[in-house]
Amino acid sequence: MPEQHVLLNTNALQKCLLRIAHEISERNDHSREVAVVGIQKGGVHLAARLAVLLRHIWQHDVPHGTLDVSMHRDDLDQQPTPLVMPTDLPFDVYGRVVVLVDDVLFTGRTVRAALDALSDLGRPRRVQLAVLVDRGHRDLPIKADFIGKNAPTALDEHIDVQLKETGGHDVVYIGKK
């Protein structure tokens, strides 16, 4: 098994999410226009957590949902059959500030696919991007607005985000592939 090192332990991961929530609240004066959308599957649980944290900060519910990007990826021809996950947006994106949430930002291709998928559902007023870990190595000119941890990596390294909602502990590992 490849050697892995802890990049974020449980406490550090929670602090990153709390800081991101405060940064989102500081950047968005009209809190009732904000919705949080988790990109399937890595961003789903993080988006739900951010919605709870924002509810405590703003003292009102923050709509949140999930977005599947599998049919908008630019590598569909390289996959046998895409694994399609549910998209669930129980709100209209039109005119909203949508905060897209993902666990790891790498090449930017997943975010590009998410922007395409989101535009199929309506026209948000603004889209912001929140990621738990930015590991660099962009293929596309995409930059996160809110970053939990910048972790420049080598191309042969991997970031493994484990969350309690998926049966593990809240921890982020970095290691060789």
Q: What is the DSSP string of the chain?
A: ---EEEEE-HHHHHHHHHHHHHHHHHH-S-GGGEEEEEETTTTHHHHHHHHHHHHHHHTS---EEEE--GGG-TTGGGSSS------B--S--TT-EEEEEEEEESSSHHHHHHHHHHHHH---SEEEEEEEEE----SSS---SEEEEE----TTEEEEEE-GGGTS-SEEEEEE-
Is residue 2 situated within a structural domain? no
Per-residue pLDDT, averaged over 162-166, amounts to 96
Is residue 1 situated within a structural domain? no
Is residue 125 situated within a structural domain? yes
Is residue 146 situated within a structural domain? yes
pLDDT confidence of residue 73: 77
- Tens digits of per-residue pLDDT, 69-103? 998 877 766 667 777 888 999 999 999 999 999 99
Is residue 124 situated within a structural domain? yes
Instruction: Domain of residue 108: give its range.
Output: 16-73+84-153
Is residue 128 situated within a structural domain? yes
- Tens digits of per-residue pLDDT, 27-46? 999 999 999 999 999 999 99
Number of separate domains in the chain: 1
CATH number of the domain encompassing residue 104: 3.40.50.2020
Is residue 175 situated within a structural domain? no
